[in-house]
A and B are shown apart, each in its own frame.
Chain A
């Protein structure tokens, strides 16, 4: 197994942000996986977990920020960006705590940001066929999001719900004051494009969840669709650089 070419990230401070809610089972593996490939700072945002998430993350050598209560994925991830901003990191990478994201892809996501090719790089399951299989209903939803976002942004974006993404220092600063609350991934793409940031998609491989369940149940997915679409259209109506 090859390690990341650390010379690329030597002079830049890169922070890996892992939002986690009750992920004590998968988290150690995720952190160890990242550590195996690159020497990067890892911060786990423990979103008010009821299990040993905080403890196992510390044991695995990650920095841990314990939120006093559950904020939801948006608020948790934003905490990571706030921390990255305050600590002066150049690049922040979001990785899911459930082990879906392959650490071997980290460099592919970070590199374009470091080279200044894009302000945000999204790890996509669909840019090339990467062997990721999804249930039909979810596939439909993802397709609709993809169409809507591609149309609004004037750029083809295939995997808009992917939480595997790296951002530049400018975006970190922007996210401190502008980050959507729940189901933030799709909305963030529209928000960034609208404020003049560039987005790039790169192919990644994704595994099925090892532990726990997806946070999205059928009923929630309906709410998800409506909420995200409403938020997207509100973003279009809103004047630039307003608070999200």
Chain B
């Protein structure tokens, strides 16, 4: 195998895949969020090992300058990923709101209870640490 840019690209892609898998193994990355990254890693490896693939696909699609196909794929992938994150953030936001609401109500109940237990002694300052 020649030591050229394709070689380094393959090496980089392999390293990338390993890092992603390692993140999943050590539970820094959840399985469901790793799938997209594994897919992009696999595509990168294939493109760097099968040297003529990019040219072939570009030719089929009528793209004159093959590397521009690479840029386009990269941008499309980024869009898809960002959209995916927006969906996740929305879900987290909803859960976050409900959690804050429950915490507020629970604090109120705890306050009422400790007031009853302490025989009418009001428990102030319970609120200040929440702000």
Interface stretch (choices A68-76, A108-116, A119-127): A68-76
A48 in contact with B131 (CB, 8 Å): yes
Q: Which one of A49, A54, A64, A71 lies within 8 Å of B100 (CB-CB)? A: A71
Contacts A64-B108, A65-B108 given; does A71 touch B130 at CB 8 Å: no
> At the interface, yes or no: A63 with Cβ under 8 Å from chain B?
yes
For the complex formed, measure the closest distance between the CB of A43 and the CB atoms of chain B, giving whole angstroms.
8
Q: Which bucket holds chain A's interface residue count?
A: 20 to 34
Main DSSP-derived SS at the A contact region: mixed
List the B residue with the shortest CB-CB distance to A243. B94
Contacts A64-B108, A65-B108 given; does A54 touch B101 at CB 8 Å: no
Q: Which one of B97, B105, B127 lies within 8 Å of A75 (CB-CB)? A: B97
Q: Give the CA-CA distance A163 to B103 in the complex, in Å.
A: 25
A68 in contact with B108 (CB, 8 Å): no
Give the chain B neighbours of A183 by CB distance below 8 A.
none
Q: Give the CA-CA distance A13 to B105 in the complex, in Å.
A: 18
Give the chain B neighbours of A181 by CB distance below 8 A.
97
B127 in contact with A71 (CB, 8 Å): no
List the A residue with the shortest CB-CB distance to B108. A65
List the B residue with the shortest CB-CB distance to A43. B108
Q: Which bucket holds chain B's interface residue count?
A: 10 to 19
> At the interface, yes or no: A67 with Cβ under 8 Å from chain B?
yes
Give the chain B neighbours of A64 by CB distance below 8 A.
108, 127
For the complex formed, measure the closest distance between the CB of A237 and the CB atoms of chain B, giving whole angstroms.
17
> At the interface, yes or no: B15 with Cβ under 8 Å from chain A?
no
For the complex formed, measure the closest distance between the CB of A113 and the CB atoms of chain B, giving whole angstroms.
23
In A77-136, the 8 Å CB interface with B consists of 78-79, 82-83, 86
B104 in contact with A65 (CB, 8 Å): yes
B127 in contact with A67 (CB, 8 Å): no
Q: Give the CA-CA distance A69 to B100 in the complex, in Å.
A: 7
> At the interface, yes or no: A66 with Cβ under 8 Å from chain B?
yes
Give the chain B neighbours of A65 by CB distance below 8 A.
104-105, 107-108
List 20 contacting pairs A-B, 8 Å CB cutoff, sorted by A: A45-B104, A48-B131, A49-B131, A54-B127, A63-B108, A65-B107, A66-B104, A66-B131, A67-B100, A67-B101, A67-B103, A68-B103, A69-B100, A71-B100, A75-B100, A75-B101, A82-B102, A83-B108, A181-B97, A243-B94
Cβ contacts B101-122/A at 8 Å (1 or 0 each): 1111101100000000000000
> At the interface, yes or no: A3 with Cβ under 8 Å from chain B?
no
Give the chain B neighbours of A211 by CB distance below 8 A.
none
Q: Give the CA-CA distance A50 to B128 in the complex, in Å.
A: 10
A67 in contact with B108 (CB, 8 Å): no
Q: Give the CA-CA distance A55 to B125 in the complex, in Å.
A: 10
B105 in contact with A83 (CB, 8 Å): yes
B127 in contact with A79 (CB, 8 Å): no
